[in-house]
Amino acid sequence: MPRDADELLALLELEKIDDDLFRGAQMPTSRPMVFGGQVAAQSLVAASRTVAPEYVAHSLHSYFLQPGDPTTPTIYDVENLRDGRSFVTRRVIAQQHGRPIYAQTVNFHKVEPGYEHEESMPDVPGPDHESVRPVSREVQEELHADQWNVADIRFVSSSAGHTDADPRHPGRQQVWLRVSSALPDDQFWHRAAFTYLSDMTLVGAAMAPHGISFARGDAFVASLDHAVWFHRPFRADEWWLYDQVSPSASSGRALTLARVFSQDGQLVASVAQEAVLRPRKEGGR
Amino acid sequence: MNPTEELVDLLDLERLDGDLFRGKQPESARARVYGGQVAAQALMAGIRTVPADFAVHSLHSYFLLGGDYSVPIVYDVERIRDGRSFMTRRVVARQHGRPIYYQTLNFQLPEEGYEHQDAMPEVGAPETGFDLVDVMRKGGNDEADALGKEWGALDVRWLGNTRFGLDPDDGHVSQARMWIRLREGLPDDPAVHVAAFTYASDVSLLGSTLSVHDVNPSKTQMASLDHTLWFHRPFRADQWWLYDQWSPSAQGARGLAFGQIYTADGTLVVTAAQEGLIRPRRPGSEGPGVKE
């Protein structure tokens, strides 16, 4: 798995096999299955490479269908759903061993002016504040979660243990994140790198009210879907606040909604993800 | 038939072949098919291709072209995954040989697990709200009468928005709230409740993106771009549910809205998300239409 921005970019640089058909490489990993953020980001890159540069990706919606096999490359097959004047839509099927593992639809918009509003960033300590905890490499290695290496992650707060209780939102978590080294200036790579990182930590907000932990492996977790709305340009290699609320858990599933703020307080993206969240003793899927 | 029975009839698709369905069209005074109808009919097509013990728990969809009321919509269902716990379907809605809407649906065999939910905000009772179509008419919306007729099955009581009657809440800068129910009772079939709710879920969500802006909706070109629902718990669409809506962001002629749906006893039953085009119309310009 990538350890820095350069390795991440190499992973996201797809090989073009034919028009609308791409192949994404794998990197050595200790995980038994491909990290979801990798499939999501590679799909976004595949879709974007079939679209004229003046159209900017503003949203993606996707479902995870099968665990990805990290020992074999992933094929990305792009279907053209619409070439409109203002909007362009692509659907990408990621496949391995002849089976779809992931389906993503991406919408692109030609930049235009319009109404403006945004929610304000909550008042939180910055990433360098003494109360904000970096995640140590030791913890990462214990997790065998080497996808974390490309990210700097600092936990700000969560509703676990009622240390930061809000009766309206029992499941909450706030995390500072960034790509751990510099990306090129092109916004395209910041959206792609953000998409990679956006699959990290979200389930923590859903676990917080239940006294369970991802690090301890208390529960079986698998992403079901993943949606991103890009609002404003930002740098994924500078700190952004991942402000997460899990509005609901039921029937072995949990939803998390997240706002993404750049450190200067701009709301730059919104994310939604539903995941399977099952007590571990009941076994896997 | 009363309007609720007409809606139930609208959601009852004709099966053309195994996974191919055709939807009826209502009488409408509007130029383009109401998005909630397409979403609900697509959902029904998807539901009819999975076993009855699997319940729909989410849908993600994109609107591609404006629908045409003069011809039926054909719904073509693709079976993406038949798993032990989860099933996935993709529905293409098409007219005149072209896709107008794509919806992906996920189904799950219900199970036990962790339980939590956001708490319902304190709001006034449905009786304290205003009829939504009246509110739209008074707000200068040219389409209010046509929409009132189209949405005859829905009883919508508007509680207020950021500029009128709603106090800022929970850090949200642009908000709207309303109670909704079907005017008459629905059959007990859970699929009908999910589909009738899906029909209603597109009524007003995008409006919350303009709650903070002092604009006449008729001077704004509005079109749903995507529509997403996560069904958390079963509920009856013919009993009051609160649609608590907020828009975290608008920029570049797009606005994003989230909605949480609570039953009157405070149970969170659905979360909704929608991004839409909200494009200021230039004076004297009708714009290029509702949807491209």
ipTM score for this prediction: 0.94
Supply B7's token pair: 């809606």
| Substitution target from B91, B174, B249, B292 for chain A, most A beta carbons within 10 A | B249
Asked whether residue B292 is assigned to any structural domain, the reply reads: no
**Total tally of structural domains belonging to chain B:** 1
Indicate if the alpha-carbon torsion angle B81, A275, A118, B260 is positive or negative. Answer: positive
Considering only alpha carbons, which residue of chain B is nearest residue A224? Answer: B106
Cβ proximity of B72 and B108 under 8 Å: no
Position B290 in a domain: no
Contact call for residues A234 and A268 (beta carbons, < 8 A):
yes
- Convert the pLDDT of each residue in A147-164 to its tens digit: 568 999 999 988 887 666
Residue B287 lies in a domain: no
Q: Which of B102, B113, B174 is nearest residue A252 as measured by Cβ atoms?
A: B113
Chain A partners within 8 Å of B233 (Cβ): 250
- Residues of chain A with Cβ-Cβ distance to B121 below 8 Å are 168
Contact A119 B173 (CB under 8 A): yes
What is the average pLDDT score of chain A?
Answer: 92
Domain-located, residue B194? yes
The pLDDT of A219-243, averaged and rounded, is 97
**Tokens standing for A187?**
């916004």
- What are the tens digits of pLDDT across the range A59-90? 999 999 999 999 999 999 999 999 999 999 99
Is a pLDDT exceeding 90 seen at residue B151? yes
Active-site residues of B, by number, are: 202, 224, 274
Q: How close is the nearest chain B Cα to the Cα of A170, in Å?
A: 6
B7 DSSP 8-state letter = H
Q: B141 or A43, which is more confident?
A: A43
Residue count of chain B, please give it: 292
Q: What CATH number is attached to the domain comprising B68?
A: 2.40.160.210
For residue A87, the SS3 value is: strand
Tens of pLDDT along A47-64?
Answer: 999 999 999 999 999 999
* Residue ranges making up the domain that contains B11: 3-280
B271 min Cα distance to partner chain A (Å): 8
Task: State the first-to-last Cα distance of chain B, in angstroms, to the nearest integer.
Answer: 34
Indicate whether A111 pLDDT > 50. yes
| List of domains in chain A | 5-111+132-282 (2.40.160.210)
Residue among B87, B81, B17, B83 at smallest CA distance from B47: B87
The answer to whether the CB atoms of B104 and A61 lie below 8 A apart is yes
